[in-house]
Amino acid sequence: MEYKDYYKVLGVPKTVSEADLKKAYRKLAREWHPDMNKDKPHAEEKFKEINEAYQVLSDKDKRAKYDQFGSSWQQYQQRGGRPEDFDYGPWRQPAGGSTYRTMTPEEMNDLFGGGGLGGFSDFFETLFGGMGGTRASYNSRANPRQTQQSRQTGRNPIAQVIEHEVEISLSEALTGTHRQLGMEGGVMRDVTIPAGVDNGSRVRLRGFANGQDVYLRIKVKPDPKFERDGNNLKTTVPVDLYTALLGGDVSVPTLGKNLVLSIPPQTDSGKTFRLRGQGMPHLKDPSDRGDLLVTVQIHLPHKMTPAELDKVRELKNMRHA
């Protein structure tokens, strides 16, 4: 059985601190996450290897046992021993004799935003057991019924994440809103969606489903008038030719009441004006809002009379005189 150098896997020295260990792990886990490396077939195995190394070195007792084993392995190799002849007997963990730490949903979401963990090597199983252990897993679309089944079968549901997709309008994202979610037994519970959420935002409901956290995955419906760009909103307003030439006021829609925008004389089509504080609120500070970017689109008059067309020709001749 091949010895695994977990320190080498994570690229850290044996004296690494807990904080630096976690920092190295987070960096490598993001770098090698399978979802980010779909063009690299070996990324999943590399990701599992990184996770396995961290599962050992982040646990004080396992790290001590691993370090002790590593010293014996090194001495054995230096004496010229073959890997297949090494005596694992003193180190072998009886089946069912150990459980190892699972990652919480918060840790997993913070590190990866989804994806699976698991697949520990024979080397890990030999040293730390696992027949009775709980492997970390992540299910981005788990439901309450699945979690209940996990309890009934005695499996640890700690690392399972329950998600519900909730669709809201852009106006609701501006002000925040409420939804009712159905629970087991037909019970309905009211949940609050804060102002400033965007597509992909996840709202955590602590202890919502039988004491387990639930995440609301937000989907904001497209709005016919506005395009969202971060916390800014973009819109286009029609401006008639005469207002564009001579200046004047135009009405600008917002997600609340309409505003008046003063157009200066000789404004070109495509010019953009910024209305500060009329965009979307920041999720962490709703009092701080983005801006509304208003782009002018000049509309030419239609069905002009012969007299009007004569005036246009007169203006053209004056410009080219």
The 10s digit of each residue's pLDDT in 103-149 is 444 444 444 443 344 456 777 776 665 433 333 333 333 344 444 44
* CATH 2.60.260.20 segments of the chain: 227-307
Single pTM value for the model: 0.51
Q: Each residue of 165-203: b (16+ CB within 10 Å) or e?
A: ebebebebbbeebebebeeeeeeeeebebbbbbeeebeb
Question: Which tens digits make up the pLDDT trace of 32-70?
Answer: 887 777 788 788 888 888 888 888 898 888 888 888 777
> Looking at the domain 6-138, which fold is it?
Helix Hairpins (1.10.287)
CA dihedral 178→182→184→185, nearest 10 degrees, is: 110
Measured in degrees and rounded to the nearest 5, phi and psi for residue 192 equal -105, 130
Which architecture does CATH list for 227-307? Sandwich (2.60)
Total length of the chain? 321
* CATH 1.10.287.110 segments of the chain: 6-138
